Structure 1
Amino acid sequence: MTSAPVGRPWQRPELRDDGTRHRPVGWVELFFDLVFVVIIAVLAHDLEQHIESVGLLTFLLQFVAVFWVWNGFTYYTERFESAGLENRLFVFLAILAVAGLAVWGEDGLGHNYLGFAIAYLAARALNIALWLRAAIHVPRFRRAAWSFAAGFAVAGILILISFVVDEQWRLLLWAAAVVADIASPAVTQRFQADLPPISRDKFPERFGLFTMILLGETIAGVIRGAAESNAESGLSATTLLEAALGLAIGFGLWWLYFDFIARRPTRPVFTVALLWVYLHIAAMASIVVVGAGIAAGIAGDETLPLPGPVSAFLFGGLGAALIAFGLLELTLDRNDNEPTHPRLSPALKFVVGAGLVAVAVAQPAMSTTAAFVIAIAALAVQASYGAIVYYRQR
């Protein structure tokens, strides 16, 4: 991992240019990511209790905001990481803000809105302050930093206005604020094009670790669903089978992401890398939605068909995840030894993903077991293709 700190205890920001040198993820970054385990668990559990369109909308609005907090600090570390004590202080302050997101995360756009919104503003304000601090010492980053600050200023004004309006307007203002915040990097292309490229190992690895947190919550949802069934009436053979199938769906998602996406870096072009980040929002949110569908299916009445909203979450989330995975593949760099086909591999995900979305819309009556089997079959198509081309190459 990272070597012992050297140099001044309090260090100025310096733009990193590591070239192709391997940069491992540091212990402080791993500790920072642990805090997001809690907020993701809160959002996922809240979603499991509200398997309907409004619950999905509020989850997405909260999830995008939480992801952007994580991404902001992750990208700052990518550009200006240091071994100084100031880095640890700033990380701890960020942890406090993220902890606030978790404390007020449940119904965070409802009765807990004030606390959740203030925690978001605090986290983003700290991140923006770090960018502006870096801009003071690194002139070539100033325009990008000011663009980030401008986007946050617009978001902050909208959120402050949302404190004094009705709930329906509050959601619209929150959505507009988050969009303004996450869109700000898109206008910095000309400012960042000549900056050192992002690392080809550490930055993708951070996204892989965050994806692992989301997959872990999917597994936790399966276990919670089985535990609830056990507490109510004991574990039946059907529930045990459904739990095993639910774990298989989570395993399949892990297989696809880490076989097709995580093992390759994005192309070294700023606009492509930014698209890669945005597509991760869709992929990651879809994983949580799938997990909520699995948990609700296991906890439901096994004598009845899978409820329509649960079916929509399961198949719609899985279809969206596959489509996002396919789009992510198109952003990745390829070398001469890459075994997957540049068009066939993503096309498989698009076709099967679109089919799953169609099932989500139709909501045909079926048992939970049958729905889980269909989901596993959809994942198995992709995993089988990957296994064939990967092992054939060897």
Structure 2
Amino acid sequence: MPRMTARSRTEKHRASTPLELFFDLCFVVAVAQAGGRLVHALAEGHPGTGIAGYLAVFFGIWWAWVNFSWFASAYDTDDTLYRLVTFVQITGVLIFAAGVPRAFDDGDWTLGVIGYVVMRLALTSQWLRVVHCSEGAERRVAQRYAIGITLAQLGWIGMLFVPADMNGTRTAVYVALALCELSVPAVAERDRRTSWHPHHIGERYGLFTIIVLGETIAAATVAVQESVDEHDALGELLPVAAGGLLIVFAAWWIYFAVPIHNYLRGSRQAFIWGYGHYVIFGSAAAIGAGIEVAVEGATGKAHVSTEAASAAVTVPSAVFLLTVWLLHARHFKRDVAEQLALPLAAVAILACTFAGEYAVLAAGLVASATVAAGEVLSRRPVPGGPVSTSVPPSHA
């Protein structure tokens, strides 16, 4: 059996593996469950509890995916044991997904925590394998990861014994445990970083973004189909469907406007960029949920106002654009005009909330115009500006 030793950060042709892609696709099940519960809460007029539940559930999905992806970037041996442990992690996410409705509707996290612990302890076994196969500073990093993850899982199990209605105590415990989870990599890698591969990490995040956007399109398509079959309201749904499609297309274009691996050189940039994708992934998935709410609003199924149904689309769309700009798009802008494109687009999309039944279509047109503006701005010469030949001209 091969030793689990660190892979080179400069390895050529480092690409995502079929196992990683399979892992991502299984995670979409959990994303779909979280989005479905968010749709129900928003359509019933409970945005506060719906958004809070969605953020809590999505944290578990996102954080388990993040830890697997960064570990695999540094230590993927693709041998029999590694594959089997990854299958255990996949089993954990499916258990977690099955527990999403209970966590959302009843505050019962039992099944969700069981699935989460299965995922995380399987990853701990991978870190213990690194401990066994390494020495010195690398061994200490692996030990810290194994200890930190294990302690966090004991905390999640302990949370189950806190009553759900105990004056917000469980919520406080959840937040504290989430912060503990987020601190594990920083503590573990305080004197030596793992050998994650910048190009591989950039590709992994990009592929998961594609999968989440694909789930958004799938969920919206099913919602439109069901509404047409039940209400024969194709005319009312066309603006929502067209606008939603334009938003998703623009989201893809804007996210992939520039390659990010050249930016991911140090741990500080990587931590901020990687952690920030909680918002990017969460808002991308929420766009699909919002489109479903807008469809239900157009057919009279949603128990909310037109503005509230529209906001379910425009708010996550604006958050997505703003976060993509903040995390990496802004690092490739050449002047003020390019820098302002995405922030102004986010504001304009929010304003579309009040465009009545054409709000989603208006937001889609704004998103499309933003892509077009980015293409025009990136191709014009800027006096004294840098001329780059290493990135494509698109700077939406």
Per the TM superposition, whether the score is higher than 0.5 is yes
Is the aligned partner of 1:368 residue 2:357?
A: yes
- Range with greater deviation from structure 2 (218-227 or 272-281): 218-227
Is the aligned partner of 1:57 residue 2:52?
A: yes
Counterparts in 2 of 1:274-289, with a 5 A limit? Answer: 274-289=271-286
Is the aligned partner of 1:78 residue 2:73?
A: yes
Corresponding residue number in structure 1 for 2:375 = 387
Alpha-carbon shift at residue 127 of structure 1 (Å): 1.0
Is the aligned partner of 1:94 residue 2:89?
A: yes
Q: Aligned partners of 1:314 and 1:74: how far apart in 2? A: 29
Corresponding residue number in structure 2 for 1:19 = 10
Q: Partner amino acid for 2:312?
A: F
Q: Aligned partners of 2:86 and 2:141: how far apart in 1? A: 22
Q: Aligned partners of 1:63 and 1:184: how far apart in 2? A: 19
8 A Cα contact 2:236 2:298, kept in partner: no
Corresponding residue number in structure 1 for 2:384 = none
> Structure 2 stretches of 5 or more lacking a match?
382-392
Is the aligned partner of 1:378 residue 2:376?
A: no
**CA distance change for structure 1 residues 383 and 101 in 2, over 3 Å: closer, same or farther?**
same
Q: Aligned partners of 1:83 and 1:122: how far apart in 2? A: 20
**CA distance change for structure 1 residues 391 and 330 in 2, over 3 Å: closer, same or farther?**
closer
Q: Aligned partners of 2:330 and 2:123: how far apart in 1? A: 27
Corresponding residue number in structure 1 for 2:123 = 127
8 A Cα contact 1:105 1:116, kept in partner: yes
- Range with greater deviation from structure 2 (139-148 or 274-283): 139-148
Alpha-carbon shift at residue 205 of structure 1 (Å): 0.9
Is the aligned partner of 1:324 residue 2:317?
A: no
Corresponding residue number in structure 2 for 1:179 = 179
Q: Identity rate of aligned residues, in percent?
A: 25
* TM-score, L = length of structure 2: 0.85
Corresponding residue number in structure 1 for 2:292 = 295
> Structure 1 stretches of 5 or more lacking a match?
1-9, 335-339
**CA distance change for structure 1 residues 164 and 225 in 2, over 3 Å: closer, same or farther?**
same
Corresponding residue number in structure 2 for 1:350 = 343
Corresponding residue number in structure 2 for 1:270 = 267
Q: Aligned partners of 1:307 and 1:107: how far apart in 2? A: 29
**CA distance change for structure 1 residues 330 and 184 in 2, over 3 Å: closer, same or farther?**
farther
8 A Cα contact 1:48 1:296, kept in partner: yes
Q: Aligned partners of 1:382 and 1:131: how far apart in 2? A: 44
Is the aligned partner of 1:241 residue 2:216?
A: no
Counterparts in 2 of 1:143-222, with a 5 A limit? Answer: 143-167=140-164, 168-193=168-193, 195-196=194-195, 198-222=196-220
Q: Aligned partners of 1:184 and 1:314: how far apart in 2? A: 34
RMSD, matched Cα: 2.6
**CA distance change for structure 1 residues 24 and 258 in 2, over 3 Å: closer, same or farther?**
same
Alpha-carbon shift at residue 319 of structure 1 (Å): 1.7
Alpha-carbon shift at residue 125 of structure 1 (Å): 1.3
Corresponding residue number in structure 2 for 1:32 = 23
Q: Partner amino acid for 1:50?
A: A
- SS of 1:191 mapped into structure 2: coil
Corresponding residue number in structure 1 for 2:112 = 116
Alpha-carbon shift at residue 331 of structure 1 (Å): 7.9
Q: Partner amino acid for 2:63?
A: W
8 A Cα contact 2:39 2:292, kept in partner: yes
Alpha-carbon shift at residue 378 of structure 1 (Å): 3.3
- SS of 2:101 mapped into structure 1: coil
8 A Cα contact 2:341 2:374, kept in partner: no
Alpha-carbon shift at residue 187 of structure 1 (Å): 2.8
Alpha-carbon shift at residue 185 of structure 1 (Å): 1.4
Alpha-carbon shift at residue 386 of structure 1 (Å): 2.7
* TM-score, L = length of structure 1: 0.85
Q: Partner amino acid for 2:363?
A: A
8 A Cα contact 1:141 1:191, kept in partner: no
Q: Partner amino acid for 1:372?
A: V
8 A Cα contact 1:273 1:331, kept in partner: no
8 A Cα contact 2:297 2:309, kept in partner: no
Alpha-carbon shift at residue 200 of structure 1 (Å): 3.1
Q: Partner amino acid for 1:349?
A: L
8 A Cα contact 1:326 1:347, kept in partner: no
Q: Aligned partners of 2:199 and 2:321: how far apart in 1? A: 23
8 A Cα contact 2:231 2:299, kept in partner: no
Alpha-carbon shift at residue 169 of structure 1 (Å): 2.7
Corresponding residue number in structure 2 for 1:4 = none
Alpha-carbon shift at residue 325 of structure 1 (Å): 0.6
Q: Aligned partners of 1:216 and 1:28: how far apart in 2? A: 19
Alpha-carbon shift at residue 284 of structure 1 (Å): 1.0
- Range with greater deviation from structure 2 (310-319 or 89-98): 310-319
- Range with greater deviation from structure 2 (166-175 or 93-102): 166-175
8 A Cα contact 1:319 1:352, kept in partner: yes
